[in-house]
Structure 1
Amino acid sequence: MINFGVIGTGQFASYFIAALRRGGYDGNVLLSPRNADVASTLAHNHACVVAASADEVLAGADVVLLSVRPEHAEVALANLHWERRHTVLSAMAGIRLDDLRTLLPGVGGIHLIMPGSYIEIAPGPIPLYPPAPGLMPLLSCAGDVVALPNEAAFNAAMVSLCASTWIYDLAHALAAELERHGLEPDAARALTLGNIAGPASFALGVPETSLLDISAGIATERTFTKTGLDHLKARHFDTPWREAIARLAEMLKLPADDSGATVSICGRCDGM
């Protein structure tokens, strides 16, 4: 059984540990003591142990999650006693693999990881680079590992994670419009979210079928579905989404914004 440690006990660590426990991981989890309130809650809710120091985490762990905010990484990781037996999972967006190798001398393996916050409730994709077959027994407890071939692909996966959050705003707009046309708020929310989750689950179950083919098979001539879809396509509904993705993809090529501060991916995620 893998002994799991965490340095940077914040929101990311909270939902990742919750996902591991939900998926059946029952090994030891050692937490760094910084952010004592979160560490105490995790210890109580998910059978974790709060270590006396980050070095004590390293002494007891084989795999170590780093979820320190990127701008604090250099200070937080300085002078720690890494060994070849340690494998690191970095959730610190914007810190490249080459930079991590400099920050973590002596570590046996370093991997980039960035699942969505929703995995504490439901399994989801876990982008991982480089691939690591030895980590599958651990990571598969939290979700479905998507092993990526290079760091550029990993950065694109982080853009996909951002887009998953945009869905909440889209769902809110759709539900609000349904309310305007007669649905009660609870029903509008349930129908909207269910009709997003359902098609996604269906498409995941038929990976050999293109998404456009699935749509075309449903939105056939003289259906209400096609009438609405034709209107959206005529208005080039995908254009702002493509533009937003392109903007973030460009940002992820840079380690910092113009002010020199590391750019985060999302507010709930310590390294994102």
Structure 2
Amino acid sequence: ARMYAARRSGLKREMFGYVEGGYATVLQRLRARLESAGVTIRCAAPVARILPTARESGGGVQLELANGDNHPLDQVVVTTSTSRVVAMCPTLSDDERNRLAGITYQGVISLAVLLRRPLGGYYVTNITDAGFPFTGVIEMTALVDPSTFGGRTLVYLPRYLTQEDPLWRATDGEIRDRFLAGLARMYPELTPGDVVASEVSRVRDVLAVSTLDYSTRCLPPLRTSVPGLWIVNSAQIANGTLNLNETVSLANLQADRLLAAATPVPGPGRNA
């Protein structure tokens, strides 16, 4: 990840750094820190609906899981993409639902490739030639020590695309063949035998596109019309690009606002 100082200060040179083990290291440490503070973490527990609890029952919010479990809570902060917020929260006002549904996301399809040999030795190669199926070549082992991957080279081939792009309908095999063929065009010395493994990843909602009048028409609110229901997600980044710096800054800002604004609704057996 590019270091914060290189983006925000007057430095005249690029500075890069990385965490050994990648996001797995960060998430494992975060989980350990949260659990040590008494936080309960539940994985593989998809949420079906979030509904307000009747006032005569003490108020708060009802969390319904896909497996049928129900959890009465004081406060719920939803951090998913806006389309999922609309799907999970049927009691939002029409204005809120229209605002959230009006947000357009850019998605990404990426092929991760493990190679027996290095490519050009550059961490990022941006591609503007429409004749290639991907928009960049990210050679991680130009930054990360190749010994991390047993002396092999790890490369990501991302393509950022609109929701209507026909590439979404392609099979993993078709994407793999197109991307590897494009990589061989860039690096003619690369042979099929150099490819150790490859994996396709698809994420529909990555970047909320800042369209005309975005801040007034689309920007998701922190507080919703449902008491105890809050929204925090990257679509609230209106004046920056989606990157780790902006995301952490948004999280810190909204956390402060939440602590200042949220008033727990006392109720039997409920947790925030």
**TM-score grouping bracket, smaller chain normalisation:** under 0.3
Structure holding more strand per residue: 2
Q: Which has the larger radius of gyration?
A: 2
Normalised TM-score (structure 1): 0.25
Which structure carries more helix by proportion?
1
Higher relative contact order (CA 8 A, sep 6+): 2
Q: Normalising to structure 2: TM-score of the pair? A: 0.25
